[in-house]
Amino acid sequence: MKPTPHIRLARPSLDLAAAERFWVDGLGLSVLWRSAEVGPGEHDLLMVGWPGGPWHLELVGGPNLAEPPRPTEDDLLVLYLAGPVRDGLVDRLVRAGGTRVSGGPYWDRWGVTIADPDGYRLVLSSRSWSSEP
């Protein structure tokens, strides 16, 4: 396996419109794909990410959602910004439906943690990936 595979993170969402506001309007990701369930056992899908990026989020919702979101404090998506977290970005994420929360001593020291509308946590870290142990 190559050390640089593309990654899809899939998670359930109770409200894809609210999730889209957070991830697209708030964070600035793009809608890469959208589809509505068309048959039994299918789901509504919203895929967001940066075009050409090595990862994206697949948000699954709709009436056939098997399980509701059950995020814990340890369900983190960490973005390493390699610099200060801009207040404007945090404000935009909160206006788009996010909630600023404590990420615990480590993440509070090295960034800002915001829960998305389903409760999953996004950490905007001021560190760079190469500075991680």
- pLDDT band of residue 133 (cuts 50, 70, 90) is low
Question: Is residue 110's pLDDT more than 80?
Answer: yes
Domain layout of the chain by residue ranges: 7-61, 76-131
Q: Is-same-fold flag (7-61; 76-131)?
A: yes
- Angle ∠(15,17,19) on CA atoms, nearest 5: 70
Sign of the alpha-carbon dihedral angle for 11, 17, 104, 81: positive
**pTM to 2 decimal places:** 0.92
Question: How far is the C-alpha of 59 from the C-alpha of 113, rounded, in Å?
Answer: 20
Percent of the chain with pLDDT over 70: 98
Q: Which residues pair with 99 in a beta bridge?
A: 115
Q: Is domain 76-131 annotated with CATH 2.40.100.10?
A: no
pLDDT in tens, 32-84: 999 998 777 788 999 999 999 999 999 999 887 878 899 999 999 999 999 99
Residue 68: what pLDDT? 87
Question: Is residue 109's pLDDT more than 60?
Answer: yes
Topology adopted by domain 7-61: 2,3-Dihydroxybiphenyl 1,2-Dioxygenase; domain 1 (3.10.180)
